[in-house]
A and B are shown apart, each in its own frame.
Chain A
Amino acid sequence: MGAYTVIGKKTPKSDAVAKVTGEARYATDVYLRGMLWARVLRSPLPHARIVRIDTSKARALKGVHAVLTAADVPDARYGALVLDMGMFARGKVRYIGEAVAAVAAVDEPTAARAVDLIEVEYDPLPAVFDPLEALAPNAPILHEALAGYTTLFDRTARAMQGNVNYQAEIACGDVEAGFAASDFVFEDTYQVQKQHPSYMEPNSTVADVDAEGRLVIYNTTQRPHINQAILSSLLGVPIAKIRVVPCHVGGGFGGKNRTLTEPTAAALALKTRRPVRLTFSHEEEFTSATTRHGGVIKLKTGVKKDGTLVASQATLYYDCGAYAPTPNAVWLGAISSTGPYRIPNVRVEAFSIYTNKMMSGAFRGYGAPQSTFARESQMDRIARELGLDPFELRLKNCLVEGDSLHTGQPLHSVQVRETLLKARAMVGWKGPRLGPNRALGVACGIFACGGFATSSIVKMNMDGTATVATGAMDMGQGLRTVMRQIAAEVLGLAPDDVTVVIGDTDLTPFDVGIFGDRGTHTGGQAVKLAAEDARDQILAAAAAGMGVPAGRLELRERKVVDRTAPERFLHLRDVLGGGQYKKGGPIIGKASINLTETAFDPGIVRGAATKMFSTYTFATHVAEVEVDPRTGVTKVDKITAVHDCGTVINPDGLRGQIIGGMATGLGYALYEDVIIEQGQVQNPSFLECRPPTAVDMPAIEFATVEGYDAKGPFGAKGVGNVSVINIAPAIANAVEHAVGARVTSLPVTPLKVLQALGAGEV
């Protein structure tokens, strides 16, 4: 759509020079004069009453400046939908690794010694580690006061009973009648594991108290403005007295849509009036941060013998661990649980369940990799048992423009069919089998894209350049550069003419956080609207000077140009510099949007965690694997990806997102698994729980299909999440086609493949 000068053109990242020279400053690179180091005492038990805490020996240690426990901080809780977690365990501990106390000392070894000197007496309680066992009537209860917790969602569902902290129900059509009308009904149970986000940079905060008594937070986060609000509520400090200054983010993937180190560092800084640094150790990352939700998905699908999907009942049991920082994941899982298919009769029940384990939270794919693994594994089973081609079955049922989702949300910019057709052509599909032990597997997915509140300011400078201010964080995916391109396109500038100020809560307007494919689509749209506001003001100012109606003017090549007579123009620097000197200026564009404004129909959805998403993204992936039937080892030779992402803004950024998502999906499919026994993480490091390396990557081919999403900037949608969700089912499907082993739990380990070969379907 349209001929763009900047959009879709190769544009190097604006922070790339800083990052290749080592000059980019991350939170762990902040060393302030007089800075103290914090360490945290963590629970050694999965569930226990705290009988007594004695900090006297720690306080007496030379070099220790402060020791805090729950008794020293306000009794306040925070969370995403359910406010269930305090800064420190209060009264009892609920998982191994939970914060019990914290120390600030002159250096890290002293802080660590002081932590060892804190004495805690525990009275162990029965614990529960399995989400289905946690639903049993006699299961140990983690949060006795759950019903009294503040919640931020529609509580019409039977939410919040026992260990269920969030529940959603979706019902459309008549699912029982649908099963009755089906020729075949398939019922399967799928299991998924906890996967660590494995951002390279650990969680870290340096908290300082400035000369005016304001709290200043240097951190690594996807949501500075929400951090500010949470710190205010936890510490009892007014928002105006808190400034969050995010540093470059060394990877987030949802794992930094969290507030983990900030409150403790801030409380210690307020107590000591010194800068305090709290950085998670590598082990703490694997015990006390968050992972993707593990869980169980039960799927029952009714189908006609020609392959037409008639009815689907999905039950999602997501294990959120001891607290629920992001139970929304199960809501996103429920949305993706039908796959990108038209199914007239659907029922989904989705539960977020407490267990005495490390917390689950947001991670790239955000609830959808789990339910997509179930849906797409079962689609292949249906194809096999009905004797249908896997592509044909999907093409027969896929959503098209104008359809509504099972939630009742009408869809637009739906190119799922196109992704299937293109992927099929790219792999030269002649059926899944390629040869002995070699096969292709296909999977197709849908992910909710964009929405929620964001805002942007575009300030024009006297030299004709622009400064964009946005609270929408760049977590490394390149949002700064995308925003630069968007503003440059609107204002007739080159990307280098645009400076993007990002995240600093003193300088940027509100954004709710970067997650769920909303950075480019929603954050970018606010920048576009703010730039258009600035453009209109520039044109009005120039119109007076040029004696031409503003409607005849446009911005290009750093000039205001009369469209009807291009030789008549003013340089932007003259309009802005001259105008601002004479009249004081300034020209400031602004925009505030919320792309999630329509509520779901309560007759269809009960317990919705959100309003309707802005749009949806789609993708088809094909994995080519070779399985050794003697060892059970699966080697992925190639992955082909076709994405429906609307207009491409930054081609290198898109490529990085698509391939990076594949890598995360590959680890999820084959080996990444945070193993927990009796509440204790067994493999808390990259040595034992390793993301894919360069030599693990398969050959890659990818493409996009033409599309335009009317709600996104220049028609753009997101791609960061949907790039992950299909990989595991595509690989599992290929494994079955290669050697006849159907593995229904992730990861697809050699042992499971051998077991499946020995026992047929397991």
Chain B
Amino acid sequence: MKQVVQLNVNDAEHELALDPSRTLLEVLRESLGLTGTKEVCLLGSCGACTVLVDDRPVLACLTLASACQGKRVLTIEGLRQGEALHPLQQAFIDKGAVQCGFCTPGMIMAGKALLDRNPHPTPDEARAAIAGNLCRCTGYEQIVEAIVAAPAVDEAARVGAREGGHYLMPDMAE
């Protein structure tokens, strides 16, 4: 017995006929082709499937798609505005926070949820915000730095846009 569900994903409206047991992760990856959200443990233990639902981080593997009816779902694919990366995405690149990249979408979404409610987090606040997201490559240090640095990237981008020029991260300009 399928159920018709309206989902707003990355500002696009979708109407899908779904088995009620389908998780948000399955629907994102298999019905909508949004494979940026990663599937790892299906137990809620790794954070790789973190997306934002009405601005709050949720684990897509433990969330039924039908429970997102009428809510706004934001995935990693919805973060970039046209060609411009989100400041947190840029900060991940600038700080060398990306290695294999498999945890990266979930990390960025968890980091964005933090920055949305706390625009200038301390390193310890950043660590706490990603404590549910596992990464085997990096040891987290550069990820924490990226989250802390993102507001500066954002500010630099806005200054750059006002002045009509490009910006460089301070340590990129060396």
A residues with a Cβ closer than 8 A to B are 10, 12-13, 15-26, 28-29, 31, 197-202, 248-253, 281-282, 475-478, 652-653, 655-656, 659-664, 685-687, 690-695, 697, 700
Contact = CB atoms under 8 A, between A and B. Distances in A.
Interface in B79-120: 79-80, 85, 89-90, 92-96, 98-105, 108
A690 B132 CA distance: 11
A244 B41 CA distance: 26
Interface in B41-82: 41-43, 45-46, 48, 75-77, 79-80
B30 A31 contact: yes
B141 A659 contact: yes
B89 A20 contact: yes
Nearest to B30: A31
Nearest to A661: B139
Tell which of A198, A252, A476 has the most Cβ of chain B within 10 Å. A476
A249 B138 contact: no
Given A656-B96, A685-B45, A24 B137 contact: no
B137 A251 contact: yes
A13 B89 contact: no
Contacts of A692: 139
A553 to B, nearest CB: 31
B5 to A, nearest CB: 20
A198 B137 CA distance: 10
Contacts of A691: 134, 136
A278 to B, nearest CB: 14
Interface of B: 29-30, 33-43, 45-46, 48, 75-77, 79-80, 85, 89-90, 92-96, 98-105, 108, 126-128, 130-144, 171-172, 174
Nearest to A196: B136
The 6 closest A-B pairs by CB, nearest first: A22-B36, A476-B100, A652-B96, A19-B101, A250-B102, A659-B139
A16 B93 contact: yes
Nearest to A28: B39
Q: Which of B41, B92, B96, B103 counts the most chain A CB atoms within 10 A?
A: B96
B163 to A, nearest CB: 23
A694 B40 contact: no
21 contacts: A12-B96, A19-B104, A20-B85, A21-B76, A22-B35, A200-B100, A201-B40, A250-B38, A251-B137, A282-B41, A652-B96, A652-B142, A656-B96, A659-B138, A663-B136, A686-B41, A693-B131, A693-B132, A693-B133, A693-B140, A695-B131
A633 B14 CA distance: 51
Contacts of A249: 100
Contact of B93 (A20, A197, A250): A20
A158 B143 CA distance: 49
A201 B99 CA distance: 13
B127 A694 contact: yes
Nearest to A697: B140
B139 A200 contact: no
Contacts of A20: 76, 85, 89-90, 92-93, 98, 101, 104-105, 108
Contacts of A17: 85, 93
Contact of B102 (A10, A26, A660, A693): A26
Contact of B143 (A26, A661, A694): A694
Q: Which of A248, A660, A663 has the most CB of B within 10 A?
A: A660
A201 B93 contact: no
B81 to A, nearest CB: 12
Given A476-B99, A660-B99, A663-B140, 18 more contacts: A15-B98, A23-B36, A26-B102, A31-B30, A31-B33, A198-B134, A198-B136, A251-B100, A253-B136, A281-B42, A652-B142, A655-B142, A656-B142, A664-B136, A686-B46, A693-B131, A694-B131, A695-B127
B72 to A, nearest CB: 18
Contacts of B144: 694
B136 A251 contact: yes
A308 B54 CA distance: 66
Contacts of A201: 38, 40, 100, 102
B38 to A, nearest CB: 7
Contacts of A282: 40-43
Given A686-B45, A695-B131, A21 B89 contact: yes
A28 B95 CA distance: 27
B99 A21 contact: no
A21 B80 contact: yes
